[in-house]
Amino acid sequence: MKNYDRIKAVVSLDAIAHNFEEMRQNISEDTKIIAVIKADGYGHGALAIARLVQDYEYIWGFAVAAPEEALELRNAGVTKPVLILGIVFEEYFSEMIARDVRLTVCSLSMAEKLSREAVRQNREVHIHLAVDTGMSRIGFEDTEKSAEEIRVISGLKNLCIEGMFTHFARADEKDKAPAEVQLGRYLRFSELLQRKGITIPVRHCSNSAGIIRMPEANLNVVRAGITIYGIYPSAQVERDIVKLEPAMEIVSHVTFVKNIPAGTAVSYGGTFVAPKPMKIATIPAGYADGYPRSLSNKGWVLIRGKRAPILGRVCMDQFMVDVTDISGVCPGDQATLIGRDGKEEITIEEFGDLSGRFSYEFACCVSKRVPRIYIKDGKVWGEQTFFE
């Protein structure tokens, strides 16, 4: 790590550990947690998080979105269950079964193919059934016909129906009624299967919003995603139940400072023209780092504990800010793009909104060009960089 990084994402594993503990305290004692670390842990780094929490007793396992993400965890020696939450194409079946990756199943035909491949390998495949109760994304319909298909699946060789889940579309809204309806449909479908003699040991419904505000949806496990990273699922979710700490700060350093006379245009397109003599500073980060171009003429950074507004367009690798009212700014000064500096703080939630992205998207979009620096017990614990 350099003293004057161009840009870095500082990820606090202490904050992540705190967020897990806060969630654990809010769920029932016999409910476990699936840590959702898809999209490289929402941009924070999946491996560092897996290593941090894999031995926690209440961690059931991990969930990802892509087969490659599951293999990354297995290749790193993660032994707890890894579940892929979406549908995987057939060409991956063989490798996923060989590496003991749990797959989501939404049809009899997929289950039959998995069973055949598992028999061929003389291994067992563990599946989780997805049930569509209102998201209309993937999953079995909660009908008698589906229940019959699942009865057939339960008899397939070398295949174990380990889990069944549904996904809430609106648990992060003020009105919890739509999520309650989904939970009710899931539970009724679960009972229907039970009456057919199918008992599924790992039942899960809750996402982060459910973990915070739907204790009735705890069941056997819950799927924690955005809350791991210290970000609330939405502005409508209560902040006093589970107290989260943001895990990621993004910092850069000023490379250039200059005075410009009134009438000077700044950056591509000349969308900002100085109305008076100004002092401006250049920040060596841009949209190629995942810093949204839509913050052009809108966002700000923190320098010396003060807000420095963005002037003109954010470029691929640089942008300019107004430091006229911040005394003594010089090259090398730290510029906080996300995080706290003195009394000021910029959160991913705030800039997710301001940029027209969305908090989840903002975090996922921090690009591979930005090194992740991990902090544990208050000290630098490791670093993950894309460049060799």
Ligand X SMILES: *Cc1c(COP(=O)(O)O)cnc(C)c1O
Catalytically active residues are: 38, 268
Least distance in angstroms from the C-beta of 229 to ligand X: 8
Least distance in angstroms from the C-beta of 106 to ligand X: 12
CA angle 36, 37, 43 (to 5 degrees): 135
Least distance in angstroms from the C-beta of 163 to ligand X: 12
Phi, psi of 381 (to 5 degrees): -110, -30
Residue 208 has which token pair? Answer: 């982060």
Indicate the residue among 207 and 296 with the shorter CB distance to ligand X. 207
Residues found near ligand X in the complex (CB under 6 A): 36, 85, 167, 207-208, 223-226, 233
Indicate the residue among 36 and 50 with the shorter CB distance to ligand X. 36
Indicate the residue among 227 and 336 with the shorter CB distance to ligand X. 227
Which residue's CB comes closest to ligand X?
Answer: 225
Residue 370 CB contacts under 8 Å (≥ 6 apart), including other chains: 7, 8, 9, 250, 289, 290
β-bridge partners, 36: 63
Indicate the residue among 13 and 205 with the shorter CB distance to ligand X. 205
Residue 20 CB contacts under 8 Å (≥ 6 apart), including other chains: 33, 35, 53, 56, 59, 224, 228
Indicate the residue among 205 and 310 with the shorter CB distance to ligand X. 205
Least distance in angstroms from the C-beta of 285 to ligand X: 26
Three-state SS sequence of 31-92: CEEEEECHHHHHCCCHHHHHHHHCCCCCEEEEEECCHHHHHHHHHCCCCCCEEECCCCCHHH
Least distance in angstroms from the C-beta of 145 to ligand X: 23
Longest dimension (CA), the chain: 80
Burial of 361 (0-12, 13-18, 19+ CB in 10 A): middle
